[in-house]
Structure 1
Amino acid sequence: MRKFRFRFLNSLFILLFFVFIALIVIIGNLFESFVFKGSSENTLQTMWSTLVVTFLIGFLFTVYMSSRVSTQLTRPLEGALKVANELANGNFKARTYEYQMDETGQLSHALNILARNLQNMTSSYEMQQNRLMTLIENMDSGLILIDAKGYINLVNKHFKETFEVEADQWLNKVYHEAIPFTELSSIIEETFMIEKTVRKQISLPIGIEIKHFDVSGAPILVNGDKLTGVVFVFHDISEIKKLEQMRKDFVANVSHELKTPVTSLKGFAETLLDGAMENKAFREHFLKIILEESDRLQSLIQDLLDLSKLEQAHFSLDWQKVDVCQLAENSILIMKKRADEKNITIDFSSDENAVISADANRLKQVFLNLISNSINYTPPGGKIRITVTKQGETVKFKIADTGIGIDKEELPRIFERFYRVDKARSRNSGGTGLGLAIVKHIIEAHHASIKVESEPGEGTSFIITFLKERK
């Protein structure tokens, strides 16, 4: 705009300059012919000098007024042009000065309104985009967006963390080249082909483990028919699958554990009815086995009931002051007969006044379970060492045996229901496989912690740390 005004004024001033020269010549000749006819050379020279100066002043005044008027006329247009260029470049905060409300003022006002509307629309759009991206990035499911050409446009944070990938590994790449999972590529291809929602459950190897996903794929359609891309949401259902498998295993284990004593009871009862009852030795032997299997069945049912109570949300403990030393001594006395039968020595030492807030009956159940396990897995002639020590605001109970020990890979599973390190030894000893699961629940209910240390062939240690005061 400035260049145009400069060129225009230059042309105008040159034209005016020649017009003024022509006027000076014409008017001077007229004055010389009629007004100053017969005048002296000095008079004529003075007339021409006056005429030139007068017209020069008039020319300069005309130039000044033309520049001033031109500036007043073009300034609003320059401001409007500058704002228009800023808007075109995406700067919607630009504004122009609104002059008097003539045509140029109205143009400036209209441009300012347009700029404000564009700024409001852009701010609203950016806010919605930020909200959407925040939602996508923080959602508890993986999300991947693929355009109509098959290029991956978006991968959210949860997806990257779950699949252990970096953004640049997949972004802006064709899905069947970037995604290493054939099963997942097939689902994406199916969604593109049928242009309908697809939902499937798949298992994929992620790192060193197999993860299970519920995958939902949906086409993105514009105007109801034009496909612009597809979006996929990945729900990690690995924990659900694990719980489902645990439920199946639990039902299978319970069925097996119940079936064994029931089969024995039925078999020996039938044998007695078939004539063995007449033989006193057989009768006493079979009845003794029936009694043992009944006790085992009763023990299993009682453990199942205890475990069920411990897992209930409204389960509560009978909190009271408990002397851990005295409770441990009582538990050892109860189990001493079984230890003597295997010639196992139980050593016990304790700090004085090891008192905590706890449920005495539940704590006794923990000690009996742990001592029983140590006796079961310690060979004849072995030793069990039990200590109770005070450490600041905590009391530690430790039981260490010289038993068969536990392999390192089996340690994380020993608190699972029905899990046995040595299945044959556990069943022969009458164990139900629920003892350590019950121990763990009771310890957690007391806000305590339990740790296991073991070496195969050397023995196992269980260390429980109690708080002296209830949380």
Structure 2
Amino acid sequence: MKTFRTRLIIILMSLIGISMLAAGLTMAQVYRGSHIRALEENMMREINLLENTFPFQATDTAGASDYYSSKARELEKLIDSRVTFILLDGKVIGDSEMSPDLMDNHLTRKEIVSAANGATGSAIRYSDSVREKMLYIAHEVKSENGFVGYIRLSMSLEAVGEELTKGWMLMAGGLLILFLAAALVSYRVAAGLTKPLEHITLVANRISGLDYDARVDLDRSDEIGQLGQAINGMADSLQQQLKQIHDNEDLMQSVLANMTGGLLMVDSDGTVVLINRAAEQILHMKDDQIVGKTYNALKRNYEFMKFVEEGVNLKEYIQEERHVYDPEELILQFDGVPMFEDQGGYRGMLFLLQDVTDIRRLEAMRSEFVANVSHELKTPIAAVKGFAETLLAGGVDDEETKRSFLQIIYDEGDRLNRLIGDILELSKIESKRAPLEYVPVNLKELFDSINEVLLPVASKKSIQMHQGIKEHLYIEGDEDRLRQIFMNLLSNAISYTLEGGRVKVEAEIVNIGEEDEKVLISVKDTGMGIPKKDLPRIFERFYRVDKARSRSSGGTGLGLSIVKHLVELHHGTIRVESKVGEGSAFTVELPIMHTLD
């Protein structure tokens, strides 16, 4: 911009200089012309004055040449001009500076030719006699005293040149002052034009450098001011659009980062251009390992790479479920969606990865649950139906046998009722349709009431019930649900403990004084124990370690599953330790206080 300002000043100064030079030359010419015209007029007046006052004599007398030369020299001193008397035939009869005898015939001189026609003759030329450039004025004169010819006055133009030189000096000084003033004004004008442009250029460069807060600060209403306002409007628009783009990008990044499914995008050249966090976790790869590379970089995940290759080649929607091992077995659902522009151009493929392992496991569990429920319901229903048909057919006459059949029907009906009740209870717990009501619960009083109910059953098998719970030990929980948890655990302990065995309940506080203060409640028995291979599955629905013994004891196979769900609803955990032939120990860990969700 400084170069532009310099060039602008140079152009302005050049125009001003040329204009002033042209004006000076014109003025000089006008001055010279007017000065010469003034001299001509003055010299003509002097000729007219001589015509009327000069004492002419006859030109054909002896001594005429001397007379007119003498008078010419006298006149030259008076009027400061060379005086020449010329006859009609061009012969010089008198001259103030040279002898007429030495002078050429002047009939062809320009001023004489012009004066011969009755007008005033004038000419400017170089004089060989005086060796100067002269101004000549001639006029025809007719005197009654015998002179008929021309009076010619001439003056050296050196005087005019001196006057012109003085004029040039004065004019040059004035022009120089005017030029300096014009230069100052030009600089101010150029600066007034270029400084706002420099400011606008600086702001435009800042905007192009992504500084969208830059603004033009000009308080003027001319075209430059309008340009600044346009730049500000453009910056406002860019800033707003950029904010919208950033907001959209942040929203998209947030959506991609929080998607539970994996997302991977491959462009039309087969290059991976996008991968989200879920896909990184599923594929065990970071974005810098794959983004910007071809999909062959997925070779560590061979199954998915082959699916991507198939989608890129087909360029159409595909879907597939595959089992992968990385290192554990997973069931992944792959979806490939082609991306096309509005004009129909192909942009690439979008691949979705969904870990459906848990979903398929739940579906399998649901199918297994339905099958187990059907089996568990079928057994008592078949028994009820069989014995009822036998009684209805009248094939049993013995009252004792009838009573036995009816007792079996009653027991199976009761077992069927408990089974349906447990199924409904488990369904209600899993669907969270039964919210917990937290109240302070005294653990010793809770287990005292449970022992009171179970003690008769334990006494029949000579099982000793021990309780190691301190007085005034409170926890926050749903008292009915806690009763249900420990009633199940103690009932199981009594059921699977042989006669003469022992069941013990203990409680201790851990993390005392800390924010996550908890209580550990253990139910231990000296029963038959649980085989190690069955320990991971004992909390599954309808899973029984000893199916025959469980059915004979009246169990539904849902008790421990209900217990596990109720413990988790209390934000607790349950674990089991057991050895075959030595007994089992179920430990429930519950928070003493619950924070509000």
TM range (shorter): 0.7 to 0.9
The alignment of Structure 1 onto Structure 2 pairs a total of residues equal to: 460
Distance 1:357 1:75 in 2: 78
**In structure 2, what is the equivalent of residue 222 of structure 1?**
341
Counterpart of 2:448 (choices 326, 333, 339) is 326
- 1:235-279, CA deviations, whole angstroms, 9 ceiling, x for partnerless residues? 444443232222111112222333445566677889999999689
Residue 262 of structure 2 contacts residue 278 of structure 2 at CA under 8 Å; is this kept in 1? yes
Counterpart of 2:522 (choices 377, 393, 398) is 398
Counterpart of 1:168 (choices 288, 297, 311) is 288
* TM-aligned CA distance change 1:96 to 1:211, over 3 Å: same
- Secondary structure of 1:149 counterpart: coil
- Secondary structure of 2:542 counterpart: coil
Distance 2:341 2:319 in 1: 21
- Secondary structure of 1:143 counterpart: strand
Residue 454 of structure 1 contacts residue 461 of structure 1 at CA under 8 Å; is this kept in 2? yes
**In structure 1, what is the equivalent of residue 364 of structure 2?**
245
Deviation at 1:416, TM superposition (A): 2.0
Residue 522 of structure 2 contacts residue 587 of structure 2 at CA under 8 Å; is this kept in 1? yes
1:419 paired to 2:546: no
Residue 268 of structure 2 contacts residue 346 of structure 2 at CA under 8 Å; is this kept in 1? yes
Deviation at 1:233, TM superposition (A): 3.5
Distance 1:428 1:374 in 2: 15
Q: Which amino acid aligns with 1:118?
A: L
**In structure 2, what is the equivalent of residue 440 of structure 1?**
564
Structure number with greater CO (CA < 8 Å, separation at least 6) is 1
**In structure 1, what is the equivalent of residue 6 of structure 2?**
6
Counterpart of 1:177 (choices 297, 307, 311) is 297
TM-score normalised to structure 2 length: 0.60
1:34 paired to 2:153: no
Residue 267 of structure 2 contacts residue 348 of structure 2 at CA under 8 Å; is this kept in 1? yes
Residue 539 of structure 2 contacts residue 564 of structure 2 at CA under 8 Å; is this kept in 1? yes
Residue 76 of structure 1 contacts residue 99 of structure 1 at CA under 8 Å; is this kept in 2? no
- 1:128-158, CA deviations, whole angstroms, 9 ceiling, x for partnerless residues? 3333333333334332222221212122233
- Secondary structure of 2:453 counterpart: helix
* TM-aligned CA distance change 1:161 to 1:102, over 3 Å: same
Deviation at 1:314, TM superposition (A): 4.5
Residue 8 of structure 2 contacts residue 190 of structure 2 at CA under 8 Å; is this kept in 1? no
Residue 312 of structure 2 contacts residue 349 of structure 2 at CA under 8 Å; is this kept in 1? yes
Residue 407 of structure 1 contacts residue 454 of structure 1 at CA under 8 Å; is this kept in 2? no
- 1:193-250, CA deviations, whole angstroms, 9 ceiling, x for partnerless residues? 454444444444455341444x443322222410112223444444432322221111
* TM-aligned CA distance change 1:416 to 1:54, over 3 Å: same
Distance 2:483 2:183 in 1: 111
Structure 2: give runs of 5+ residues left out of the alignment: 36-156
**In structure 2, what is the equivalent of residue 372 of structure 1?**
491
Distance 2:428 2:253 in 1: 45
**In structure 2, what is the equivalent of residue 41 of structure 1?**
none
- 1:103-142, CA deviations, whole angstroms, 9 ceiling, x for partnerless residues? 5455444444434333333333333333333333333433
**In structure 1, what is the equivalent of residue 577 of structure 2?**
454
Distance 1:170 1:77 in 2: 48
Deviation at 1:363, TM superposition (A): 5.5
Higher deviation after alignment, 329-338 or 147-156: 329-338
Residue 146 of structure 1 contacts residue 230 of structure 1 at CA under 8 Å; is this kept in 2? yes
* TM-aligned CA distance change 1:5 to 1:397, over 3 Å: closer
- Secondary structure of 2:527 counterpart: coil
Residue 267 of structure 2 contacts residue 347 of structure 2 at CA under 8 Å; is this kept in 1? yes
Q: Which amino acid aligns with 2:503?
A: I
Greater C-alpha Rg: 2
RMSD over aligned Cα, in angstroms? Answer: 5.0
Q: State the identity as a percent.
A: 35
Deviation at 1:460, TM superposition (A): 2.0
Counterpart of 1:132 (choices 236, 252, 273) is 252
Counterpart of 2:458 (choices 323, 336, 339) is 336
- Secondary structure of 1:65 counterpart: helix
Structure 1: give runs of 5+ residues left out of the alignment: 39-43
